[in-house]
Chains A and B, each alone.
Chain A
Amino acid sequence: MAWLALAACQRGGAPTGGKVEIEYWDKWTGFEEEAMRAVVEDFNASQSRIHVNFSSVSQINHKLMLATAGGVPPDVSGVYANMIPAYSENNALTPLDSMAAAAHITREQYIDIYWRMCMHRDHLWALPSTPTSIALIWNKKLFREAGLNPDQPPRSIAELEEFNEKLVKRRPDGSLQSIGFLPESPDWWDPMWGYRFGGALWNGRDAITVNSPENIAAYQWIASYPRRFGAHDLMAFRDGFGNFASPQNPFFNGRVAMEMDGVWVYNYIKNYAPAGFEWGVAPFPSSDPVRLKDVAIVDLDALVIPAVAKHPAEAFAFIRYVNSRKPMEKLCLGQRKFSPLLACSPDFLRNHPNPWIGEFLALAKSPNACYAPPLATYTQFANDMSDAVNRIWTGKSSARAALDEVQLRQQAVFDRSLERWRRLAPVLTREWSAQ
């Protein structure tokens, strides 16, 4: 409450030097915040009309919703792309279609999947800030020690498991000392293992498809872990992992030899892994490397204008600036990511500090790149899936039973959400088209 009151008071301040002040919230901290702050400073220096006040805000998914409900949202906010469906369907965002068209910003200028992630219900709600793609990362030293070729990562799930068996080490008391691969390390993409087996999580219209044969096959693979390694041993092993951003990260300290991770991992390796840490990046294996080649999960940080923002035109001017080539490359270079724009300066990739940036970029452009289902109920869906995966992973439930349960519950949740959408759609779509 006090925080909202403070935000309201700040907004009431007079514009500095006759400029329109706009508030910009984003979720970044540390070097990622610094990278965006540098772009904001460049924008402010280039402007005689607009001044951007940038604040780093934690738990942005909750705070943006409450601030919008309270009528005091920021003018621009950074969001995770998977927030866009829920925010747009609940009338919390300003559609950007007409502003983007007037500024000649088009789909053709972006890596296609990132543009699609900014669209929902045939409207444009956001423009990218920084993109990510997820790949297989492996520890070359551990590969060498296990007699594996350090430059030859697994290409199929079957091969991944062969490598896993060679990389696993146990202590004299039988407990796990290190492992080749652990699907729950990290567990950020629990709902999306089915993509590796050709599965999808919904039909694109009105049905959840979480218990499809492909998804069941994927989670049966997860279910093999407690059977092979022992549920208690696995839990104790995983419980001993330190924070992701610490030297106790199990991948950095050699307890896990391969993992699925994003483009950001470079920064964490640089800061927390031991000196001389050798690592490689490749597409994460799939069940069938010929049919399902380069299946990559991608994600996106995006910029939106909340529905009741006071200065939408000025807010869009800032978003447009960030989405022009030079500032975007400065931001992405600062955050050690690749640019979501198709056009790229020749020096950008050449001078990029992340030695594997080309591999991550190629995965984002893969025809088999995919992302979290754009459901307004995604948070609930993801929570339910995490719980199901936990039960599967600890051997408490079979893959089929756990997925059947999620299917039943999440279809009902999705049906209710569609019902709400059908009720709101006539008014909202009319308003959006008029904007």
Chain B
Amino acid sequence: MTRGEWRDCRNGLLFISPWIAGFLVLCLYPVITSVYYSMCDYSVLSPAVFTGATNYRDLFTDAIFWKALYNTAFFAAFSIPLGVFISLSLAILLNFDLPGRGIFRTVFFLPSLVPMVCLAVLWQWMLNGELGLINNALKPLLHLLNSLFGSHLYPPNWLADARFAKWGIIFTGLWGVGNAVVIYLAGLQEVPRHLYESAELDGAGFWSKTAHITLPIISPVIYFNVIISLIGSFQVFAVPYVMTGGGDGPDRSLLFIATYLYQNAFDYWNMGYACAIGVVLFFMVVALTYVATKLSERHIHYSGK
């Protein structure tokens, strides 16, 4: 290495050192200690006692943990595809060159600016079984269906009924698609216009252009959004926590992994057990991200490649 290269290297390290220090102290150290505490009986205020794999053994036989895992997986399995579909559809529509486009883009982005707690309180009332706007809209529709077909359909008690509670949270989450829409819009603007023109000359319609040009070109953006949603879904906490008043929802249907972790750490004085949940959650997210990367490898087209 020449003297100039050494100097550049030193300066580079100096400039990046605040980040490295922050990463080591605020990220790496807590992660390493969490792994250690996950193998301890640790109540925060009394000394941690090493118990080996006990927390993990207990975790795998803990029915509430499995319930929380199921709820989280269910939420992720439906909220990610729905979120991607709705945000991508909105982005494509908002990408059309129409008058008032800017206003529509703002309108669809606005709900993302609402703080999560306000969002949760608002939707708590929207989904109210007796007085909620959603059920008041559904009532005449179901009444019509009942009178036509002699059925006995009634609007669900969204957050009070275990069969519908998770759907309530999924719909609430869809309000925040504005962020993803903005990212998709940025991706859509990068699609070269000449490809559409060539396709149009060959007689391609809207669907063909979307399937064969738009989606392949913005596939890295879709991939990015899916991974971010995957991580976000496995960490879902604030909205169900507020909507259930800090509880688990009917029949624990709104108990998610992050909520269970929080309860163990701060309500039950089981920080060691909470760390074990955190470690399992970390490896699950890593594994799922790896699987998503592998599965999508052949379908993602990077422009540089």
B71 to chain A, nearest CB (A): 13
Bound Cα distance from A394 to B52, whole angstroms = 41
Q: Which residues of B contact A380 (CB under 8 A)?
A: 263, 267-268
- Which residues of chain A have C-beta atoms less than 8 A from B128's C-beta? 239-240
Number of residues on chain A facing chain B (CB within 8 A): 33
Contact of B157 among A62, A232, A307 (CB under 8 A): A232
Q: Verify if B160 is at the interface (C-beta below 8 Å from A).
A: yes
* Interchain CA distance A49-B169 in the complex, whole Å: 54
A236 in contact with B250 (CB, 8 Å): no
Evaluate contact between B268 and A68: CB separation under 8 angstroms: no
Nearest 3 A/B pairs, CB to CB: A240-B130, A239-B129, A235-B157
Which residues 367-387 of A sit at the B interface, judged by CB distance below 8 A? 376-377, 379-380, 383, 386-387
Question: Would you give the shortest CB distance from A359 to chain B, in whole angstroms?
Answer: 30
Q: How far is the CA of A307 from the CA of B43 in the complex (A)?
A: 15
User: 1/0 per position for A64-77, CB-CB distance to B under 8 A?
Assistant: 01101100000000
B250 touches A394 (CB 8 A): yes
B window 138-164: CB within 8 A of A: 154, 157, 159-162
Which residues of B have CB within 8 Å of A270?
none
- Whether A237 lies near B130 (C-beta < 8 A) is yes
Q: In the complex, which range does the number of interface residues on chain B fall in? A: 20 to 34
**Hey, which bits of chain B sit against chain A, CB under 8 A?**
41, 43-46, 49, 63-64, 128-131, 154, 157, 159-162, 247-248, 250-252, 263, 266-269
CB <8 Å contact, B250 and A90:
no
Contacting pair A239 B266 (CB below 8 A): no
CB closest chain-A residue, reference B132: A239
Task: Report which of B43, B154, B159, B247 forms a contact with A239, defined as CB distance below 8 A.
Answer: B159
Chain B residues with CB under 8 Å of A377's CB are 268
Select one of B247, B268, B269 contacting A386, CB under 8 A: B247
Which residues on the B side are within 8 Å of A232 (C-beta)? 154, 157, 161
* Other-chain residue from A235, A379, A396 in contact with B160 (beta carbon distance below 8 A): A235
Closest B residue to A391 by CB, please name it: B251
A68 x B45 contact (CB < 8 A): yes
> Would you list which residues of chain A between 302 and 323 have a CB under 8 Å from chain B?
307
Q: How far is the CB of A259 from chain B (nearest CB, A)?
A: 18
Q: How far is the CA of A380 from the CA of B260 in the complex (A)?
A: 11
Within 8 A of B (CB), among A79-94: 86, 90-92
In the bound complex, do residue A90 and residue B252 qualify as a contact, i.e. CB atoms below 8 Å apart? no
